[in-house]
Amino acid sequence: MKAIDFSMSRPHMRNTPSATKVFVGSLAWATDDSSLRSHFEKAGTVTDARVILDRDTGRSRGFGFVTFANQQGADAALLELNGSELDGRPIRVDRANEKPPRR
């Protein structure tokens, strides 16, 4: 049986924009997963919404990610929600990049 080298699996995905996932920046400290999901459901079907938390304090790091069921939802979010107000702050919406593997 031939050994498979997974170290270079999906090299074409590294640091490339995801079709269905968006980055959301400039989040208010009060924004949580639920309010993030609710805000982005205006653009399409949301499959996941996460506010990234500091592992030491448990406090929001001010950004998050929203994953849509399809590319149309992500595209709509980019067009319609970039600059919109969430929990009293204008947010920034952009395509999410794949995280490079840890070494």
Do β-strands 17-25 and 92-97 pair in parallel, antiparallel, or remain unpaired?
antiparallel
Residue 48 is assigned to a structural domain of this protein: yes
pLDDT (tens digit, 9 = 90+) per residue, 4-20?
A: 444 444 444 445 677 89
Residue 15 in domain: no
- Asked if residue 30 is part of any domain, the answer here is no
The CATH number covering residue 68 comes to: 3.30.70.330
pLDDT in tens, 57-101: 999 999 999 999 999 999 999 999 999 999 999 999 999 998 788
Is 81 inside a domain boundary? yes
Which residues constitute the domain of residue 56?
40-95
**Vertex 16 angle, CA 6 and 10, to 5°:** 15
Helix axes 71-81, 33-40, angle to 10 degrees: 90
* Residue 88 counted as domain residue: yes
What is the total count of domains within the chain? 1
Say what the pTM is: 0.81
